[in-house]
């Protein structure tokens, strides 16, 4: 724990738990509370009219590989079965901390003993003239992409037969949306203000590889350019280009939703400032989890840390002493034809120094460099790049683009903190043949190996599940980014556990 994280205070035990928000972090928290026998103490206030759903898979709904009902996390019936008071389509407008009540838009007040803010994040509009009309509504060509309602609206627009789309933002969400539109036959372009794609997750070299891959898939990418104006002629860029388009999809920019916390007089920086118990530094009865929570100087923005926080918070609310001290970030791009995985902090890079034992790869069209802390293998012919950042023999970060054949082994070493020998990092990256099949992986993975990074599910837990539906219900595997689906399918129902 760093000095920037406030010292935690004890969370008062017992009483009614009111959760504001019904996203992925909130659902996980409720599941954890149910597992601890506290479900009948919970009220959930969700602003959207839908049952909670997996936001990561919205691009799959847009692409057409998933139906909307397939991404539901928990049905209203599940909440009722566990004694949870679920209220959908309910907006909270104020928190009255002295009375320990939240006020709804209807004027009703709901009492709490513990209030959990799981308000997530909200999109921010980029400074593009013409996005908003005189009446305050978005231009009919413009679409946000943050919710199921946004997805439905965009799908409805596609039925009119638009031929061209521009996606503003080259982050994870932007690439997923661009690929989904392309798969549906829409000619799609990406505009990214940074010098390369996925700037927050990968370096320039990996970003360029992604750009070339997208071009091969038929998507034009404009990096180092910003959209400045939407007119009848199209979307104008600051480099002088005007892109003719039928649709503009906004995926760039988002911030924690903290207006409710700010009105309640809580300390807010980027997110709601909490200590390691996830309680507000101002009020031990008000807590925050997920995208809206800030521990020290960091907010999360990803599902795995939000779910980790949910487990800590559920433990504290039921008398435990767990604390949250940060997380290991795992990000996976979910887009047809694009393979990207990022583990740990992408900023952990040092000057590259050649490793003698990798020099022989130069004659195979492969660039290979390494240093005391960085090992990198790039193949410009196949459009792949794999990089490990190693400290004291332990993988602390990794980036894989275009080739995820080694993702299982690397993730296992990363999660366990395995100390590697001097030549092992290079050997770990240098497998050019296809990686093991999911079936082979299922036979060899030890029971304690983590398979689903989003939900923190081990191979042993999955082998104990009779069906995929059982695995989803009891472990939540595959309900995050979905990248573990093939391995989970191979593990489910396996009768014999593999020892370490």
Chain segment 160-206, per-residue pLDDT in tens: 777 899 999 999 999 999 999 999 999 999 999 999 999 888 888 88
395 falls within a domain? yes
CATH classification at residue 460: 1.10.10.1100
Containing domain of residue 70, as a range?
A: 17-121+255-317
pLDDT digits (tens, 9 = 90+) for 421-454: 888 888 888 754 444 555 665 666 777 777 776 6
Taking 50 as the threshold, does the pLDDT of residue 408 lie above it?
Answer: yes
146 and 248 assigned to the same domain: yes
346 and 395 assigned to the same domain: yes
Q: What is the pLDDT of residue 396?
A: 87
Q: What is the mean pLDDT of residues 93-119?
A: 97
Q: Of 137 and 489, which is predicted with more confidence? A: 137
Cβ 452 vs Cβ 484: under 8 Å: yes
6 falls within a domain? no
End-to-end CA distance of the chain: 32
CATH classification at residue 399: 3.30.390
Closest CA to 86 of 36, 146, 148, 20: 20
Residue with tokens 């949250």: 324
Taking 90 as the threshold, does the pLDDT of residue 154 lie above it?
Answer: yes
The CA-atom distances, in angstroms, between 357 and each of 363, 383, 395, 403, 426 are: 13, 22, 19, 22, 9
9 falls within a domain? no
- Of 252, 276, 308, the one marking the end of a domain is 252
How many domains are contained in the chain? 4
Closest CA to 170 of 213, 200, 143: 200
The number of beta carbons lying within 10 Å of the beta carbon of residue 212 is 14
382 and 474 assigned to the same domain: no
* Residues whose CB is less than 8 angstroms from the CB of residue 168 and which lie 6 or more positions away in sequence, other chains included: 126, 128, 174, 191, 227, 248, 249, 250, 251, 252
212 and 239 assigned to the same domain: yes
Q: What is the pLDDT of residue 418?
A: 86
The one-character DSSP state at 359 is G
Cβ 283 vs Cβ 240: under 8 Å: no
* Residues whose CB is less than 8 angstroms from the CB of residue 218 and which lie 6 or more positions away in sequence, other chains included: 182, 187, 188
Closest CA to 249 of 191, 132, 153, 168: 168
Cβ 310 vs Cβ 289: under 8 Å: yes
497 falls within a domain? no
241 and 157 assigned to the same domain: yes
pLDDT digits (tens, 9 = 90+) for 8-19: 655 666 799 999
362 and 445 assigned to the same domain: no
What is the pLDDT of the chain when averaged over all its residues?
A: 85
283 and 349 assigned to the same domain: no
Cβ 34 vs Cβ 82: under 8 Å: yes
Residue 82 pLDDT grade (very low, low, confident, very high; cuts 50, 70, 90)? very high
Cβ 336 vs Cβ 345: under 8 Å: no
Taking 90 as the threshold, does the pLDDT of residue 229 lie above it?
Answer: yes
């Amino acid at each position: 724990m760093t000095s920037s994280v406030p010292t935690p205070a004890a969370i008062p035990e017992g009483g009614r738990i009111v959760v504001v928000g019904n996203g992925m972090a909130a659902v996980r928290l409720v599941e954890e509370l149910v597992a601890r026998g506290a479900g009948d103490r919970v009220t959930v206030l969700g602003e959207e009219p839908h049952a909670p759903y997996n936001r990561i898979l919205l691009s799959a709904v847009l692409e057409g590989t998933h139906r909307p009902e397939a991404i539901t996390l928990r049905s209203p019936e599940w909440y009722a079965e566990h004694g949870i008071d679920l209220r959908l389509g309910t907006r909270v407008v104020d928190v009255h901390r002295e009375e320990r009540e939240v006020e709804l838009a209807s004027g009703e007040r709901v009492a709490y003993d513990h209030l959990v803010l799981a308000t997530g994040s909200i999109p921010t509009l980029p400074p593009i003239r013409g996005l908003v009309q005189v009446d305050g509504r978005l231009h009919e060509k413009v679409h946000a992409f943050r919710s199921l309602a946004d997805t439905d609206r965009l799908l409805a627009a596609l039925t009119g037969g638009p031929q061209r789309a521009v996606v503003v933002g080259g982050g994870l969400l932007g690439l997923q949306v661009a690929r989904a539109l392309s798969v549906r036959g829409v000619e799609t372009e990406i505009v990214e203000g940074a010098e390369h794609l996925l700037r927050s997750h990968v370096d320039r070299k990996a970003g360029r590889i992604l750009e070339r891959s997208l071009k091969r898939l038929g998507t034009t990418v404009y990096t180092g350019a910003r959209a400045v104006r939407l007119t009848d002629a199209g979307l104008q860029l600051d480099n002088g280009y005007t892109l003719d388009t039928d649709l503009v999809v906004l995926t760039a920019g988002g911030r924690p939703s903290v207006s409710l916390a700010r009105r309640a007089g809580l300390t807010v920086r980027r997110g709601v400032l909490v200590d390691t118990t996830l309680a507000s530094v101002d009020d031990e009865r008000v807590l925050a989890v997920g995208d809206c929570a800030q521990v020290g100087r960091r907010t999360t923005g990803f599902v795995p840390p939000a779910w980790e926080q949910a487990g800590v918070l559920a433990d504290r609310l039921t008398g435990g002493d767990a604390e949250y001290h940060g997380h290991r970030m795992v990000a996976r791009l979910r887009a047809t034809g694009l393979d990207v995985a990022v583990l740990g902090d992408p900023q952990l890079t040092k000057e590259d120094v050649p490793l003698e034992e990798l020099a022989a790869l130069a004659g195979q069209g492969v660039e290979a460099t390494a240093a005391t802390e960085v090992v990198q293998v790039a193949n410009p012919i196949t459009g792949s790049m794999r990089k490990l950042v190693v400290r004291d023999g332990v993988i602390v970060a990794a980036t894989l683009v275009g080739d995820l054949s080694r993702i299982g082994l690397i993730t296992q070493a990363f999660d366990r903190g395995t100390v590697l020998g001097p030549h092992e990092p290079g050997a770990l990256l240098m497998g050019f043949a296809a990686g093991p099949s999911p079936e082979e992986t299922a036979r060899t993975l030890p029971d304690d190996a983590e398979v689903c990074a989003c939900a923190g599910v081990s191979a042993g837990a999955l082998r104990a599940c009779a069906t995929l539906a059982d695995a989803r219900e009891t472990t939540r595997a595959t309900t995050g980014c979905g990248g573990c689906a093939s391995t989970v399918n191979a593990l489910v129902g396996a009768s014999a556990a593999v020892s370490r």
